[in-house]
Amino acid sequence: MIGRSLAQQFPSADRSCKAGKVVLSVSGLSAGGRLQDVDFEVREGEILGLAGLVGSGRTEVANALFGTQVDTSGEIRIDGKPVKFRSAGEAIKHGVALVPEERSGQGLVLNMNVRENTTLANLRLFRLLSWFPLLSRKKESRSTRSVIRSLAVQTSGIGQLVEFLSGGNQQKVVLGKWLIGRSEVTVFDEPTRGIDVGAKFEIYKLVKQLATQGAAILYIASELEELVGICNRIIVLRNGRSIKELTTSETTVHEVLNYCYGG
């Protein structure tokens, strides 16, 4: 039905990381009493996984990086420069994108159409003129159709309301809006939750493709097989702290799980 063997869960690729410069560096990150001195860095072309049990602080890390987590402290550097995000808008301007855990409540506006959702995060790119606050519908439509083609979004057209798309196609729209802006750092928080096995494989391919193109990826997932299957390294969080770094080519799901439980 999905055109491949179910034994092939993840796209085949060279597991060795051909990473470049450090794009994102986090040191002593603490937030809201849930995070305590979390440290990690993500390089150009690398997929860094974030593992941990429910309540370990994974989503708090994502929100802190995207400017939506209050009471944060510590240092965040992008391309070596310290940054402090007080809003999602500031994070976007610095090249940070977030695919949130709850796509229907945080990643999409369900009563808006595919075009509006796809361009929503980068409206400045679609102005009629650089100084003029009105948008060019023609530019929006052209970019949206390009995203639909590249991600194979199954939709009746750019005017279809996203609430009537399947879960997998909704998630593709969430991803597509960040492709337009060419973000340096993309944070994926449970990107395959609630979608079918065929759509999951397509998401994995897209994440791999973004890394190949030089993006720095932070990938959060509850499914440890998923982290070991597509990431280059994994940071394990426990009780809001980063307790272990593992290289996926040298680890197993059981070892990651052991550290999640404090082993």
Is 115 in the same domain as 88? no
For residue 46, the model assigns a pLDDT of: 95
CB atoms within 10 A of CB 117: 23
Summarize the confidence of residues 6-32 as an average pLDDT: 76
Whether 1 maps to a domain, the answer reads no
Is 209 in the same domain as 174? no
On the question of pLDDT at 14 being above 60, the answer is no
Domain of residue 249, CATH code: 3.40.50.300
For residue 4, the model assigns a pLDDT of: 56
Summarize the confidence of residues 91-98 as an average pLDDT: 93
The structure's pTM equals 0.89
Is 258 in the same domain as 190? yes
pLDDT digits (tens, 9 = 90+) for 108-158: 999 999 999 999 988 888 988 877 788 999 999 999 999 999 899 999 999
Q: Which residues, other chains included, contact 102 with Cβ-Cβ below 8 Å and sequence gap of 6+?
A: none
Where among 128, 156, 181 does a domain terminate?
Answer: 181
Is 169 in the same domain as 135? yes
Range of the structural domain that residue 214 is part of: 21-95+183-263
pLDDT digits (tens, 9 = 90+) for 31-79: 878 899 999 999 999 999 999 999 899 999 999 999 998 788 999 999 9
Is 74 in the same domain as 173? no
For residue 129, the model assigns a pLDDT of: 81
CB atoms within 10 A of CB 257: 14
Is 177 in the same domain as 187? no
Of 53, 108, 32, nearest in space to 220 by CA: 53
Is 187 in the same domain as 177? no
Is 255 in the same domain as 136? no
Is 36 in the same domain as 153? no
pLDDT digits (tens, 9 = 90+) for 230-245: 999 999 999 999 999 9
Is 220 in the same domain as 149? no
On the question of pLDDT at 17 being above 60, the answer is no
Round to whole Å and give the CA distance between 223 and 242: 18
Whether 101 maps to a domain, the answer reads no
**Contact assessment for residue 78 and residue 43, using Cβ atoms and an 8 Å cutoff:** no
Whether 169 maps to a domain, the answer reads yes
Sheet holding 216-220, edge to edge: 96-99, 185-189, 216-220, 47-51, 233-238, 241-247
CB atoms within 10 A of CB 33: 9
Of 136, 12, 126, 23, nearest in space to 4 by CA: 12
pLDDT digits (tens, 9 = 90+) for 213-228: 899 999 999 999 999 9
On the question of pLDDT at 1 being above 60, the answer is no
Whether 233 maps to a domain, the answer reads yes
Whether 68 maps to a domain, the answer reads yes
Summarize the confidence of residues 70-97 as an average pLDDT: 91
Whether 201 maps to a domain, the answer reads yes
Catalogue the long-range contacts made by 5-13 (C-beta closer than 8 Å, 24 or more residues apart).
Answer: 6/197, 8/201, 9/201, 9/225, 9/229, 10/201, 10/204, 10/226, 10/229, 10/230, 11/201, 11/204, 11/205, 11/208, 11/230, 13/208
Is 170 in the same domain as 204? no
Most confident of 86-90, 104-108, 142-146, 205-209: 142-146
Is 84 in the same domain as 193? yes
Where among 181, 204, 238 does a domain terminate?
Answer: 181
Confidence of residue 8 (pLDDT cuts 50, 70, 90): low
pLDDT digits (tens, 9 = 90+) for 183-201: 899 999 999 988 888 788 8
Whether 8 maps to a domain, the answer reads no
For residue 71, the model assigns a pLDDT of: 84
Q: Which residues, other chains included, contact 5 with Cβ-Cβ below 8 Å and sequence gap of 6+?
A: none
Round to whole Å and give the CA distance between 217 and 186: 5
Q: How many structural domains are present in the chain?
A: 2
For residue 5, the model assigns a pLDDT of: 58
For residue 13, the model assigns a pLDDT of: 54
Where among 181, 198, 233 does a domain terminate?
Answer: 181
On the question of pLDDT at 2 being above 80, the answer is no
